[in-house]
Amino acid sequence: MRWSLAFSAFVASGSAQLVTDLTGSGWTLRSQNGSISIPASVPSQQYIDLYKAHVIGDPLYGLNNTEQSWVPLQNWTYTSRALTDLQLTGALSSTYLVFQGLDTFAHITLCNQVVGDTDNMFRQYIFDVSSILHSCGHTTPQLSINFGSAVNITHALSAGPDADPDDNFADSCSTTSSEFSCKPYARKEQSDFGWDWAPSLVPAGPWQPIFAVQMTPGQVHVNNALIDIYRKEQQNNLPSDQGMPWVFNASLDFVGSLPGVQIGMSLSLADANGKHVLTQALGGITQSPGTITGSTSIAPAAVQLWWPNGMGAQTLYTATVSVTGLLGVPITSVTKSVGFRTIVLNLSPVSDTELAAGVAPGAHWHFEVNGQPFYAKGANFIPPDPLWPRVNATKVEQLFALAQASHMNMFRVWASGAYLPDWVYDAADRTGILLWSEFQFSDAEYPNSTHYLQNYEAEAYYNARRVNHHPSLALWAGGNELEAIILAFFFSADQPGALQKQYEQIFLGVLPKCVYANSRSVSYIPSSTYHGWLKLDFDSEMPQIPRYLNTSGPDALYADTDAYNYDANTLFDITSYPIGRFADEFGFHSMPSSLTWATAAPPEDLYYPSETVINHNRHTPFGATGDADALSLAGIAEMTAAVEMYLPVPGKKDGAANFTAWCWSTQVVQADDIAHQIAFYRRGSGMRERQMGALYWMFNDLWAAPTWAAVESTNRQKVLYYAAKDIFSPVIVNAYYNTSGRTSDLQIWVTSDLFAPVSGIVSYSWVNYAGGAITVGTLSTGNISVSVGAVNATHVTALHYVDLSSTLAGSGVDAKDALLQLSVSAKAGDTTYTHSAVFHPATLAQAALRDPGLALTKPKVPTSNSAAGSTYTFTVSAPKAVAAWVWLDVSTNAVTGYWTENGFWLKEGESRSMVFTVWEDWSKGKWVDGVNARSVWDNTLP
């Protein structure tokens, strides 16, 4: 345990505020029946301490996640050591216990006296224990927290007075082998109960820090702080006037008491180098119980704008808000990192001017930053670990570095994980990754008794205030896919039923008010999939009147899309992709690499599909029946069917090599599929749908399992990561082939997400897999001029094949031995942007592949060394033939890092150099020797 003194000069006696940090070791964890009593720490959860004490194995290894199913069915008690640091007498007359996060159903005692009960993992709880502490007498105080079994409690709640039988829908209270049930009855990380990419552990424990605050009368301790920076007259959900001055609003929540007169507040702003920018008094100071608020105006020229990744600099400032008393004597202060930006989700109607320009009728669905509409490029972000106290800054910062390096500008922080801590938002602020944030509700109907509504409000109010100062905060959404459930199952325009009213009460009533009461700088929507609003009225009980299905006609577009396709036959059929204004979820699953599997399974289980692979796969086809193993195998079969359809099937004699080849092959299909979809959605920025965002599912993983992730649980990148990085390049060229069977139309488009127009040259060449030139129709090789508007797309009409199949046949070209190689070089101002792509009319399973004779040159020494990591440059070439999906594999877990590019095509005779940046190296450089190169051709080898 640690303690610190926070001095307050306001107190005439000069006595100190004592903050005792109760985190760290010295705690004890005890099971319900007392048979287990082990050392523990805080923050923690029961699985973590049980593993450290060797009571259980790693919950994520092998079959442990199911074999340890007894763990969440018990109550667990955390007990502190004797709190000798606390002062029981003297001037420090008030004592508060501050719990930053308790997971979830907790009963707290101090000196064997009841402190209180909690039932929300996401709230900060503060208890005044002054009287309890003074009544301890000569007994040294000891803190005890009993955590009830969330599994047992939620089942009991589902049959209690706050429950409605209609709530038990969409797995709310249905038990399967891989998911515990009744999760909506717990204000707890919903994926703790299991998801189709997560184990069902249901942890419990003090997952956030605990500390005690002791004060004299007249002192205050700030426990939360809201900073809201917005343009004057700005309103939520509406674009703002970029010429207006900034408003800096600060509101501090505290325990203790402030003097009643002559309270002042001030702002001091410094830049990233510590240089003073300004100091201003805050005006309009108001006080309510436990809160003080003030604001000031800042001239636009006084500060620089913060921009998302790829759009400008991530300019940050250090803001210190001070509270003073009589004669300006300091009382307290708060320091936060801030940025100046406006961000809005624009859902306003399409204008007549836009209609005349060819934009489909309906409403917009796009983000604008600092007045600029931009294309959102990114992915969905899930919890980095099923046990949040194990999440460390290094892993998260690596994930954000990967996102920044791959042209992303947005993560959707998916509902049903946990609200991200401030240090994660800090990483987003520094890297320019906007965070579409969501309140933690997903795919269920949530109870709406008075107790639950009050609990939701306290949770949302606290978290909305806590993270609002971060410029990376892009949006608050009420939850995941909630409107889609209402529209699919419960909607009535004329006679809304109980569940529709329940949805509206929580997500159109309670939650938006928590946002609007605290922020003018961020938009709110009730659901990740949302048809928008008909009317905004911030003074109404329902600030947004939802559109639902109230459209202006069959051609009108209003909503974002959330769609998955697991039918191998139609993966690359562009007519199967949804047309909307924004794509917030789409994906396909794949295996992690064999090296990541090796961290989570014994060697004898590294085959396809082993007992561990079957156990860790939680995705099952919709409507499938059977036992757990049969359901898992059916989900795995979706991946294997896709590999069999699109790639040469691995059939290697060596079992380990075959397992590696199969894992990699599922990743290639996944990468190809998602890259095709991203390209399709990006092209939509220049089509009638004016599509303005693509966030694939999902970016990261939390255990070794077949999932949709682009980055594995070890932070090793899948093929998808590099394919998405490539297709998220600012300017891209891509082929769009209609494979629906009704036509064989081939179109070439160039897409740009830059704020300025670009112009340049598209180069093309038709070749066979040996690299030899071929002629298709009248074209073989050439260059075509192209221009693209800002955030737009252009059809390269000179390369349009209305019926490619007939053209190939008429040219005497076998589709199985034909490739169209494309590249674009375009300029915006003085900057040149390049991109290349390959189109093949036949699948690689059918294609006339040749041995490319891959040759890899490895470095003997690092190319460079810096604080960011050492770099090594590798060169690979294909001297004999075209190479498909060239992959450089780091074949050891003794090093971590990432490539500048990977998973690409090489022309016959082409060489390419890639740089590997090392994060950690436990091999002393020997990992370089184990790097190897492969391509799809290797699948054909025994």
pLDDT at 12: 27
Name the domain count of the chain. Answer: 3
Three-class secondary structure assignment of 4-62: EEEECCCCCCCCEEEEEECCEEEEEEEECCCCCEEEEEECCCHHHHHHHCCCCCCCCCC
- Here the CATH number for the domain that contains residue 932 is 2.60.40.10
Q: Which of 43-57, 87-101, 369-383, 687-701 has the lowest mean pLDDT?
A: 87-101
Q: Could you tell me if 208 and 69 lie in one domain? A: yes
**Please, which residues bridge with residue 557 across strands?**
362
Does residue 491 fall inside a structural domain?
no
pLDDT at 7: 29
Q: Could you tell me if 101 and 225 lie in one domain? A: no
Rounded CA-CA distance 679/669 in Å is 15
% of the chain beyond a pLDDT of 70: 96
Does residue 572 fall inside a structural domain?
no
Q: Could you tell me if 23 and 132 lie in one domain? A: yes
Does residue 829 fall inside a structural domain?
no
Q: Looking at the predicted structure, is the pLDDT value of residue 170 above 70?
A: no
Q: Looking at the predicted structure, is the pLDDT value of residue 659 above 90?
A: yes
CA nearest neighbour of 590 among 624, 517, 639, 662: 639
pLDDT at 168: 57
Condensed to tens digits (0 to 9), the pLDDT of residues 552-583 reads 889 999 999 999 999 999 999 999 999 999 99
> Which band of pLDDT confidence, cut at 50, 70 and 90, is reported for residue 855?
very high
Site of tokens 């590294």: 606
Q: Could you tell me if 79 and 136 lie in one domain? A: yes
Cα distances from 615 to residues 145, 591, 619, in angstroms, run 33, 13, 11
Q: Which of 155-164, 430-439, 903-912 has the lowest mean pLDDT?
A: 155-164
Q: Looking at the predicted structure, is the pLDDT value of residue 11 above 60?
A: no
Condensed to tens digits (0 to 9), the pLDDT of residues 448-485 reads 999 999 999 999 999 999 999 999 999 999 999 999 99
> Which band of pLDDT confidence, cut at 50, 70 and 90, is reported for residue 179?
low
Beta strands in 597-658 (DSSP E): none
Phi, psi torsion values for 504, nearest 5 degrees: -65, -35
Rounded CA-CA distance 765/747 in Å is 15
Q: Could you tell me if 67 and 208 lie in one domain? A: yes
Does residue 108 fall inside a structural domain?
yes
Q: What is the mean pLDDT of residues 8-17?
A: 37
Which pair of structure tokens corresponds to residue 25?
Answer: 């070791």
Q: Could you tell me if 140 and 241 lie in one domain? A: no
pLDDT at 5: 34
Pairing relation of β-strands 523-525 and 831-839?
unpaired
Q: How many Cβ atoms are within 10 Å of 661's Cβ, its own excluded?
A: 24
Q: Could you tell me if 144 and 239 lie in one domain? A: no
> Which band of pLDDT confidence, cut at 50, 70 and 90, is reported for residue 136?
confident
Site of tokens 């050891």: 892
Q: Could you tell me if 17 and 126 lie in one domain? A: yes
> Which band of pLDDT confidence, cut at 50, 70 and 90, is reported for residue 534?
very high
Q: Could you tell me if 232 and 284 lie in one domain? A: yes
Helix 655-683 vs helix 719-727: angle between axes, to the nearest 10 degrees?
20
**Which comes out higher in pLDDT, residue 260 or 667?**
667
% of the chain beyond a pLDDT of 90: 89
Indicate if the alpha-carbon torsion angle 340, 725, 594, 416 is positive or negative: positive
pLDDT at 608: 84
Q: What is the mean pLDDT of residues 867-896?
A: 96
Q: Could you tell me if 142 and 32 lie in one domain? A: yes
pLDDT at 464: 99
Q: Looking at the predicted structure, is the pLDDT value of residue 879 above 50?
A: yes
Does residue 693 fall inside a structural domain?
no
Does residue 526 fall inside a structural domain?
no
Look at residues 304, 323, 338 and tell me which one is the last residue of a structural domain: 338
Q: What residues make up the domain containing 34?
A: 2-149+202-212
Which pair of structure tokens corresponds to residue 796?
Answer: 């390269």
Active site residue 481: yes
Q: What is the mean pLDDT of residues 873-883?
A: 99
State the DSSP code for 592: P
H or E stretch covering 656: helix 655-683
Condensed to tens digits (0 to 9), the pLDDT of residues 292-306 reads 999 999 999 999 999
Q: Looking at the predicted structure, is the pLDDT value of residue 416 above 80?
A: yes
Q: Could you tell me if 27 and 138 lie in one domain? A: yes
Q: Which of 189, 438, 445, 481 is catalytic?
A: 481
Q: Could you tell me if 208 and 271 lie in one domain? A: no
Q: Are 268 and 285 in contact (CB under 8 A)?
A: no
**Three-state secondary structure call for residue 316:** coil
Condensed to tens digits (0 to 9), the pLDDT of residues 688-708 reads 999 999 999 999 999 999 999
Does residue 230 fall inside a structural domain?
yes
